[in-house]
Structure formats: structure tokens, C-alpha cells
Copies of this chain bind each other. A is one copy, B any other.
């Protein structure tokens, strides 16, 4: 088919009638499908059921250093869990603290601590008139919710295939002392699926921030979440790069096993310099006696080591890959050449990012919803929920069974076409 923009009004009107008929057919199916969040499917969760067997009433719940994991203590985690997660996120084990079940919670607490107590001796942010964060867009809505909740002003930074626009990032970070952080999902980014290039990581690590308490909030959410064995993205390790560049304290790296074992019942971690770790522990020891060590031990006994974890991730990939490919194939087939949308084809992670014609995203998502398919809300991938071009839509292929996903994506493609036709007709 030819690009919609080259069609005459009559052709578009004809097309609209045809698409509207198809849409009504979908409405008749009474679908209730959810593609809104990056949730693993039941089939993926089944992969980790063995975790429920590794500890039993006969088990010795003592860890290597003699700590009884059943009792109080262990503020920063058991050493074998530190080793496992350190290998997972490519840092030395002594640069890590193991937390509870959620890296989002760790990020929230990091911002909250900076508000009330400041970063390594600097003024608490709640005492400052203005605090700003850089937000590569499109990005992860829950990051933006945290900074919005704390009244931190968010500045959009366009994402490219290589990561955030580094000219803009450097300009802000090096000249504006109210810029205290940047949200990053460096690998298989949420939602674009792109990974930061070596050049981007090096430029980030080599910045000279105007604010001494500027930190990179490095959400390593999809570090080992590949879709393919042969085509895998690699991202330079940021702690080492910052250290090399003479900025050892400039980054907090977050991660968890949420999309490896059970979301909500995994273990999370922060990795950062010893100076930052000392700063964090001063607060952490007030907040808790320690996180769930039995669950840490459960993870270690289940995976044994990083090799076990990598093997486990292959099984996830085998379930996820056909879903991503199904979405990509339908988008290619239905929308290829029409010039009414572009989309990413990531090598890992949980999302495909779709850009429609400007001003169409909200309407597309609304149309999907009316026919029973819930997408992530349009705008959600931008600070304050405001996509200035109203064009980005996050597609989350992981949760629905394959057949449902195919139906949902076909509906989605149809809605894209229908809304685009309307848009073009309006503009005539």
C-alpha cells in the first residue's frame, strides 16, 4: 500500500469506511486484553516455581559466614546474595547493598533520603528552592512519578538510538547546579528498547557537574533480559567508567530480580561507590534492622551462581521472543510503508516503543480501550504524563498469551490506521 499522505481525500474516505467496519467487528468480539504493564506472563512465572522447593524444614538456613538467616541482622545483605547480584550487574560484591523486594522502592528511598538529609553532606533538597532532574523521553513513568511526587522539576531530554541527547545533558549538568540527577534505563531502555552506546556512557561518566550532589540514577532493570542469544546489546559498566573518569561517586546503580524470579517477591540492590554506600548505610541502619535474608538465601540456592541465572534468562527469552516477533510482524505487515508510525525492534527488555503521527497517540489508545484492549496510557512515557507531540505509545507484549497478543496487536494496528486517516482528513 502507498503512504497515507499520498492518498486523495476520496481514497482516505473509502479507507475510513473499510477500517470503521473492521473496527466494529472487533468491538463485537467483547475483548478484555491488557497490554498496559511490563508484567511477566504466567508461563514465565512457572519457570521459577522451583524456588518454592529449594528451602524446606530440613534446610540449614545458615549462610557462608555463619549468619542464621532466620534471625535479625544483616543490614546490607548476606554475602552470597551480594556476590550473585554483583555478578548480575557487573560490579564488585563490596560495592553493593541488597535490599527488599523492589528496586523502585530503593530509588524512592534514595530520592527521599536526599530530600530530608542530602547527599554526602550536601544541603538536603527540601531546604533548596529548586531541584531539577533530567528525564530522557520517552522513559519510565514510575521514575517520573517519584520525582513529581517530591516536587522536583523534570526536564525532557530526547532519547536517540544511542541514548539521551548528550549535548543537551552536558549543557544542563555542567552549568545548572539545581540539576541533581538524571533518570537512565541504559539497556533495553523502557520503552524504546534502545541501549546506550559506549560513547554515551563515557560522556556521562566524564561530566563535570555543577552540583556536587549530582548523581546518575542508573536503573539497570534489563541487564540480562536478552531476547536473543546471538544479538545482544552490551553497555559499558558505569561504576567503572565513572571511577576511571575521576567521578567515582557520581552514580547509583539499581537492579532487582523482579523480572527474573517473581515480581514483588524478588530481591533488589543498589551498587555504588564506598563513599555513597557509607552515606546510605547511615540512613539504612535507622530505617531497618535488615531485609529478608531467607529470601536472599532462597535466590542464591535456586540459581547457585550467575551461570544458573543466565541459563534461567534463556528460558524467559524463549517465551518472550515469539511475542515480540509477533508484534513486530503484525506492525510490519499492517503498517509497513504507510508512513503513519515507526516502532522499535529491541534485542531485549520488555517493551516496543511506537510513535504515531503527531497528535494521534491519545486517540489510538482510547480507541483500543473502547474495543477492549488496554494499552499503557498515552503520555505516560513523559514527565507529568504530557507527551508534547502526543505520539508515543508503549507496547508491552509480555503478559497476554500469544494468541491474545496477536488479536490485540491487530486491533492496535487498525486503530493506528483509523486515527491516522481521521487526522489526515481533518488536515485537508
Q: Give me the interface of A with B, judged by CB distance under 8 Å.
A: 37, 39-40, 42, 45, 48-50, 52-53, 55-57, 59, 61, 68-74, 100-102, 104-105, 108-109, 112, 115-117, 124, 126-127, 142, 145-146, 149-150, 258, 262-265, 283, 286-295
A203 to chain B, nearest CB (A): 31
Query: Which B residues are CB-close (under 8 A) to A145?
Result: 286
Q: Are A52 and B50 in contact (CB under 8 A)?
A: no
Q: Are A71 and B39 in contact (CB under 8 A)?
A: yes
A230 to chain B, nearest CB (A): 30
Q: Are B288 and A72 in contact (CB under 8 A)?
A: no
15 A–B contacts, CB within 8 A, in A order? A45-B71, A52-B61, A71-B264, A74-B264, A100-B292, A101-B291, A102-B290, A104-B289, A108-B287, A112-B112, A126-B126, A126-B127, A263-B289, A264-B290, A265-B293
Q: Are A53 and B50 in contact (CB under 8 A)?
A: no
A406 to chain B, nearest CB (A): 22
Query: Which B residues are CB-close (under 8 A) to A100?
Result: 100-101, 292
Known contacts A105-B288, A286-B108, A288-B108, A294 near B264 by CB under 8 Å: yes
Q: Are A286 and B149 in contact (CB under 8 A)?
A: yes
Known contacts A264-B293, A283-B149, A288 near B102 by CB under 8 Å: yes
**How many copies, total?**
2
Question: Lowest 3 A-B CB distances belong to which pairs?
Answer: A265-B294, A49-B57, A108-B287
A311 to chain B, nearest CB (A): 17
A292 to chain B, nearest CB (A): 5
Known contacts A53-B56, A112-B112, A116-B126, A71 near B262 by CB under 8 Å: yes
Bound-complex Cα distance A149 to B117 (A) = 9
Query: Which B residues are CB-close (under 8 A) to A149?
Result: 117, 283, 286
Bound-complex Cα distance A192 to B243 (A) = 51
Most central of A49, A70, A105 by chain B CB within 10 Å? A70
Query: Which B residues are CB-close (under 8 A) to A101?
Result: 100, 291-292
Bound-complex Cα distance A336 to B117 (A) = 49
A45 to chain B, nearest CB (A): 4
Q: Are B45 and A50 in contact (CB under 8 A)?
A: no
Bound-complex Cα distance A292 to B293 (A) = 13
A53 to chain B, nearest CB (A): 5
Bound-complex Cα distance A105 to B99 (A) = 12
A190 to chain B, nearest CB (A): 14
Q: Are B52 and A56 in contact (CB under 8 A)?
A: yes
Query: Which B residues are CB-close (under 8 A) to A127?
Result: 126
